[in-house]
């Protein structure tokens, strides 16, 4: 089990493999982001995308799915997230793309008000099969401290 004390700033990991399907792009868009370039080939062809593209929010959801799958193999004492500081959709995602994630811990600190909890920031970059960055985000995570009675600097 990975706890706050085990996180190292600068540590990196690569994980995930997500194949984007046309059916999933259409299904997600029809429910959550029904813009024409996510739903219709002809409409999409007339945009800067040039063809049907996944919603950026769908890309976020696929990223989260890869992160959760990774957490199953790298068990951690995670306590959720208070949010994201930065989110950028760098390139469109298309049906047929295969996505993967590279993550890096960029900051960590103990909670002042809740000594049993630590906070950490991580940068996630999502790549397609051509090693092009399609999404970049900085997220905040909450994680359990192994020993809440240890000094706050540990």
User: What percent of the chain shows pLDDT beyond 90?
Assistant: 89
- 61 contact partners, CB below 8 Å, separation of at least 6: 28
Confidence category of residue 74, pLDDT binned at 50, 70, 90: confident
Specify the 3-state DSSP secondary structure of 152. coil
The answer to whether 117 and 144 are in contact (CB under 8 A) is yes
CA–CA distance, 39 with 33 (Å, rounded to integer): 9
Closest CA to 141 of 64, 30, 73, 31: 64
Residue ranges covered by each domain of the chain: 4-144
Specify the 3-state DSSP secondary structure of 22. helix
* Ordered DSSP codes for 101-143: EEEEEEEEEE-SS-TTEEEEEEEEEEE-TTS-EEEEEEEEEEE
How does pLDDT run across 87-124, given as a tens digit for each residue? 999 999 999 999 999 999 999 999 989 989 999 999 99
pLDDT at 149: 79
Residue 154 pLDDT exceeds 60: no
CA–CA distance, 114 with 151 (Å, rounded to integer): 13
What's the CATH class of domain 4-144? alpha beta
pLDDT at 150: 78
How does pLDDT run across 39-63, given as a tens digit for each residue? 999 999 999 999 999 999 999 999 9
The answer to whether 144 and 79 are in contact (CB under 8 A) is yes
CA–CA distance, 40 with 51 (Å, rounded to integer): 9
CA–CA distance, 126 with 134 (Å, rounded to integer): 6
CA–CA distance, 6 with 74 (Å, rounded to integer): 12
């Amino acid at each position: 089990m990975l706890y706050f004390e085990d996180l190292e700033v600068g540590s990196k990991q690569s994980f995930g493999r997500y194949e984007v399907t046309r059916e999933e792009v259409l299904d997600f868009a029809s429910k959550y982001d029904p813009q024409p370039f996510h739903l219709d080939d002809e409409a999409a062809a007339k945009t800067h995308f040039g063809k049907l593209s996944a919603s950026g929010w769908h890309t976020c959801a696929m990223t989260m799915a890869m992160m959760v799958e990774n957490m199953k193999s790298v068990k951690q004492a995670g306590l959720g997230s208070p949010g994201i500081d930065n989110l950028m959709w760098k390139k469109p995602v298309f049906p047929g793309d295969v996505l993967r994630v590279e993550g890096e811990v960029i900051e960590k600190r103990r909670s002042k008000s809740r000594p049993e909890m630590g906070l950490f920031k991580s940068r996630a970059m999502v790549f397609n099969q051509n090693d092009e960055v399609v999404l970049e985000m900085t997220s905040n995570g909450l994680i359990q401290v192994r020993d809440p009675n240890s000094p706050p600097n540990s």
